[in-house]
Chain A
């Protein structure tokens, strides 16, 4: 058997120390190591996240008082800034999200592989991401400045505006390639490279979530690609497809946009749910409750999620039958999310709970995501939708899902896997302080928006009626508290990556494969490919048995 032919010496160097063919920064930007690529994504994404947060801070500051607040900040600039905030946060942060960082870093180790199926393609994905982002940045500083259309690029305004819509869209188009290639790579990796003995229902749940996500990335992203391409073509040579003056239909653009962009919401949230499904059993010290239900709910969210797009368009002309069907399907897609929430809570029941920062963020994820999900049902019901459509309620709901869900899920994952990534621990006490700041600031910032929306404050406006000011002030103060928490978190991680106490291979008592390799992992992860036996979290079963015997 080929197993006797080991052509390299056992790797003693970890992936951070490795001296490859290139030196310095080239050893990173030319590396095909999935772990280095994961970190490359992380650094670039957090850099953009910082810019996106700054834009959000400016928007909130402007909304502190009715009328102009920041001297010299015009309504047009406000439009460009909220578009930039949306484009950066959506396309450069939450869409690559957890798969790009933790999928790349952890997934191959979790399934017992040395790398992804196509390592060079993986590096190419990162370059697509960088080139797309670069083009979007170019759109900022050339021509008539950044698009002022909002991140949804709705026609016909996006056909008419003189701002750099074409460049901005080209950026998003190329970033789409990055998403497709990552999804394709993960699908093949999960199909072909699981350790011997690891069947489908023995994979960790984070891998299941990545698998479901990857299908959406591959199948849905081309739809937005062609949609953006058609708008670019429309702007260049007037083919007429979306132009009502030439017989085209602008509503068709909305359909095509949301055929991608609604499933894309699940690209953003599913991997975060996967990470939560890893963290909760580890800190409850027991196997996950309802493993199969959670695994299959990922797949059903991914599939039903395709069929609900028109709930973004309830106020456009549609047949009553279509309205009912899309509303009903929207309620259906909430069921698998509910299945997950109940299973997480059931996992905690009678567990041996070790409340540390990753679990703290995971529990806040459950709380915030539940608010986001339930307000989503209010949007998805036809009656309330007419009332709250295009108000701050939508903004509040969206941020509860995307920031309270994906954002807090990503922070939970970062606290969970950081010791594995850098081989260093962070300051746990500090983590509790900034968690408290972030949790309080977040709810002030976005719960106020839910109330404002119920009261009828329309969204996207530079200005508002004076009677709305109280909640706008609460919201803006919340944004400051939240950002203070974010800055402390950044400090904790940047400092700990260099000076934190050395982390053991398994600081939390996890039972999946990434905790069996040293922290940080060696270059090719495993000296010998492990053989997997038993269920995904069978390690906890022994622990539970021992605990119940002791009682």
Chain B
């Protein structure tokens, strides 16, 4: 039975007679994950809309404010996150090729790269806050409205993205545990694939954040 349903069978009647708790449909799990990713796109999509509105109103201020951001650090973080997406994809491929150890190593590498991204983010935010560039600070109140909004959006959007990186790291840690305990196996790895999809989404959002905030000028 398990081999039957493990082959992405489109043929529902084959396992329609199993009791509900044994019902397993990998395609359904993937559709569900994609729908969840749509909700994430809408969540960030609205923030990009807000960004577009204020950038069109305050384009000059946005230009000035963006000069303050550290392009080198942003680019390095982009490199880190892109690499982590690669290790994520390789981890799934390794598991499909029944190399459990390699899969675990690559998954761990993904989590570590995620952590490295967050550490960089911490120093980046820390430096800004040290210079008094944070919402409602005294220094901020002396800046033009457009620059204040730029930083408001910067903290909101990179902050929400950071939360997603943290959530992704938690999720991947859980997946690592499942791989170790053989709950995720070469013949049932849809959970790992779905987690990978989530990780790629987090990556994708960053790909848009980088040009909009760091290299916009």
Contacts and interface: CB of A to CB of B under 8 A. Distances in A.
A227 B20 contact: no
B4 A2 contact: yes
A548 interface: no
A191 B31 contact: yes
Contacts of A223: 42-43, 46
Interface string A235-266: 00111110000111100100010010000000
Interface stretch (A67-75, A110-118, A415-423, A505-513): A110-118
A114 B50 contact: no
Interface in B12-35: 12-23, 25, 27-28, 31-32, 35
Nearest to A189: B28
A119 B42 contact: no
Interface of B: 1, 4, 12-23, 25, 27-28, 31-32, 35-36, 38-40, 42-44, 46-47, 49-50, 53-54, 58, 135-136, 144-146, 148-149, 152-153, 155-156
A225 interface: yes
A248 to B, nearest CB: 7
7 contacts: A2-B4, A187-B31, A223-B43, A225-B43, A241-B50, A241-B156, A247-B146
B135 A184 contact: no
B17 A221 contact: no
A26 interface: no
Contacts of B25: 117, 192
Contacts of B47: 226
Best-buried of B39, B47, B148, B153 by chain A (most CB within 10 Å)? B39
A252 B22 CA distance: 48
A6 interface: yes
Given A3-B16, A196-B13, 19 more contacts: A2-B1, A2-B15, A5-B18, A7-B19, A8-B19, A117-B32, A188-B28, A191-B31, A222-B42, A226-B47, A237-B135, A237-B136, A246-B149, A247-B54, A247-B144, A252-B50, A259-B46, A528-B17, A529-B17
Nearest to B1: A2
A184 B32 contact: yes
Interface of B is mostly: helix
A226 B46 contact: yes
Contacts of B15: 2
Nearest to B19: A8
Contacts of A58: none
B123 to A, nearest CB: 21
A218 B149 contact: no
A511 to B, nearest CB: 22
Contact of A187 (B18, B35, B136): B35
Given A193-B12, A222-B39, A247 B149 contact: yes
A222 B43 contact: yes
A252 B13 CA distance: 50
Interface of A is mostly: helix
Nearest to A233: B156
Nearest to A229: B160
Interface of A: 1-3, 5-8, 114-115, 117-119, 121, 180, 184-185, 187-188, 191-193, 196, 218-223, 225-227, 230, 233, 237-241, 246-249, 252, 256, 259, 524, 528-529
Contacts of B16: 3, 196, 529
Nearest to A217: B39
A483 to B, nearest CB: 38
Given A6-B17, A256-B46, A230 B27 contact: no
A221 B41 CA distance: 12
Nearest to A244: B145
Contacts of B144: 247
A246 B43 contact: no
A524 B20 contact: yes
Best-buried of B14, B18, B146 by chain A (most CB within 10 Å)? B18
Contacts of A185: 32
Contacts of A246: 145, 148-149, 152
Given A2-B4, A222-B39, A237-B136, A192 B28 contact: yes
Given A196-B13, A226-B46, A226-B47, A241 B31 contact: no
CB-CB nearest 7 A-B residue pairs: A247-B145, A239-B152, A238-B136, A222-B42, A222-B43, A114-B20, A192-B28
Contact of B12 (A119, A196, A252): A196
A252 B46 CA distance: 11
Given A222-B40, A247-B58, A247-B148, A117 B17 contact: no
Contacts of B1: 2, 5
A178 to B, nearest CB: 13
A117 B28 contact: yes
Contacts of A119: 20-21
B24 to A, nearest CB: 11
A219 B42 CA distance: 7
B20 A192 contact: no
B43 A240 contact: no
Contact of B14 (A1, A6, A118): A1
Nearest to B156: A239
A182 to B, nearest CB: 12
A118 B136 contact: no
B27 A192 contact: yes
B28 to A, nearest CB: 4
A118 B16 CA distance: 15
A6 B19 CA distance: 8
Contacts of A237: 135-136
A131 B139 CA distance: 40
A378 to B, nearest CB: 31
A529 B13 contact: yes
Contacts of B20: 114-115, 119, 524
B83 to A, nearest CB: 29
Given A117-B25, A226-B46, A246-B149, A239 B155 contact: yes
Given A117-B32, A184-B36, A226 B135 contact: no
Contacts of A121: 32
Nearest to A238: B136
Nearest to A120: B21
